[in-house]
Amino acid sequence: MAKELKAGQKEELNIGKIEQYGHGGDVWTAAKAFGGQAEAFLDYSANINPLGPPSCVQQALQQSWERMLQYPDPGHRKMKGYLAERLGVEPEYLLIGNGAAECMALALLYLKPTTVGVIAPCFSEYEALSKQFDAKVIAIRGSKELDYQAPAEELLKLAAERDVCFVGHPNNPTGVLYSSQVLTEAANLAAEKNHTLIVDEAFIDFLDEDEAEVNSLYRLCENNRHLIVLRSLTKFYAIPGLRLGYAIAHPSLIEGMKDKQVTWSVNGLALAAGEALFDPKHREEVAAYEEETRTLIVKEREWLRAELRVLGLETWPSQANFLLCHIETPWTAASLQQALGGRGILIRSCAMYEGLQDGHFRLAVKDHSSNERLIHTLRQVLAEEQPSSS
Ligand SMILES: Cc1ncc(COP(=O)(O)O)c(C=O)c1O
């Protein structure tokens, strides 16, 4: 599918800038750089459930097109009611957003922090949004020996000292989970200092249900007015184009965040999807889909790790649907991205993450036949190609 490159053409192709908007999943930039149709890429750069959305969501979308003729409910009442029931919290503890990304922005808009603490490497939006809202970002580095987590005492210090502190749980791009005891301590410290801890649980649904319940911090929100838990529905339920996520926090925080939300930012079709997902009458179907997803991801993640190891690549022990990987010189993430891009496969370079190196990249975990194609192509590339110098 990729167009042939003429000698000397590489420089014109913006190689190394596939993540020019700061994220994976940009198949449009990839098509410009590597040729071919955007839709034809096998996209390992965005971490979306390979099963696609559950069928009740697909049906709800097909049946709900008329909701385009109405303004969406600005109070998101039906979805919020179902979700509250599912989580066992009062609806006042929930804010529905246009993706977890909107909830993140609303937290910053409301809290107006002067300083924001992050632990590098982490999701780039923590820093980008903080800067957008004029906060100073203080990054500490995770330690390689701890799979890029910060030692507990450093995390606690960050939460105590900074107005707002973000923690990915599991963290992106490592997939590693913090200890819930340490995070609980950090949330208590933040409360003592009148600061706020934001725990980003965008990928926590990929854990086994009981483990997610034990590891999540959302139950602490009842007694802690300085803790915000973020959840995304776009990854696990495969609806990134619809945009849907939520925040769980004490009503005092939720009201402040809601005040900053643009009315109707969550559109009617996204609400239809959310209502279908959490409607008790779909519980059995959705539970079966959730189980199938978790089983598939664990199996494929371990298969991929083993195959990558055989190819000489280092990986980290992820609990999510992606893997942080490292390739040794003379290869770099950029040259590997270029070689695979030319063969129709898109990977996420992580070389630009603070604390990581030129050889770091991230792979989504997909279905077995895609994963086989990825490994087959990687094997070919490593055997047949010389890394380019871009
Ligand atoms: C760690 C993390 N949090 C939040 C988000 C945003 O998720 P959403 O699509 O729900 O806005 C992402 C998206 O990639 C992410 O990786």
Query: In a mutational test of the pocket of ligand 1, which residue from 98, 123, 205 has the highest number of ligand atoms less than 8 Å from its CB?
Result: 123
Q: At what angle do helices 333-341 and 27-34 cross, to 10 degrees?
A: 80
Q: Is 101 in the pocket of ligand 1 (CB under 6 A)?
A: yes
* Cis-peptide into 121, omega within 30 deg: yes
* Single pTM value for the model: 0.94
Percent of the chain with pLDDT over 70: 95
Q: Is 123 in the pocket of ligand 1 (CB under 6 A)?
A: yes
pLDDT of residue 21: 85
Q: How far is the CA of 352 from the centre of ligand 1 (A)?
A: 18
Contact 57, 158 (CB under 8 A): no
Helices and strands of the chain, counted as H and E runs: 13, 13
- Statement: residue 6 has pLDDT above 70: no
- Statement: residue 89 has pLDDT above 70: yes
Q: Which amino acid is at 385?
A: E
180-224 per-position pLDDT tens digit: 999 999 999 999 999 999 999 999 999 999 999 999 999 999 999
* Cis-peptide into 173, omega within 30 deg: yes
Show Cβ contacts of residue 70 under 8 Å, excluding neighbours closer than 6 positions: 268
**Residue indicated by tokens 């619809």:** 242
Percent of the chain with pLDDT over 90: 89
13-42 per-position pLDDT tens digit: 344 488 888 888 889 998 898 988 999 899
Q: Is 164 in the pocket of ligand 1 (CB under 6 A)?
A: no
pLDDT averaged over every residue in the chain: 94
How far, in Å, CA of 293 to CA of 206, rounded? 8
285-334 per-position pLDDT tens digit: 999 999 999 999 999 999 999 999 999 999 999 999 999 999 999 999 99
Query: In a mutational test of the pocket of ligand 1, which residue from 235, 242, 244, 277 has the highest number of ligand atoms less than 8 Å from its CB?
Result: 235
Helix (H) or strand (E) holding 101: helix 100-111
Q: Is 49 in the pocket of ligand 1 (CB under 6 A)?
A: no
How far, in Å, CA of 79 to CA of 57, rounded? 13
What is the DSSP-derived secondary structure letter of residue 248? E
Q: Which amino acid is at 4?
A: E
If you take atom 12 of ligand 1, which residue's CA is the nearest one? Answer: 202
Contact 286, 54 (CB under 8 A): yes
Q: Is 173 in the pocket of ligand 1 (CB under 6 A)?
A: no
Q: Is 202 in the pocket of ligand 1 (CB under 6 A)?
A: yes
Q: Is 234 in the pocket of ligand 1 (CB under 6 A)?
A: yes
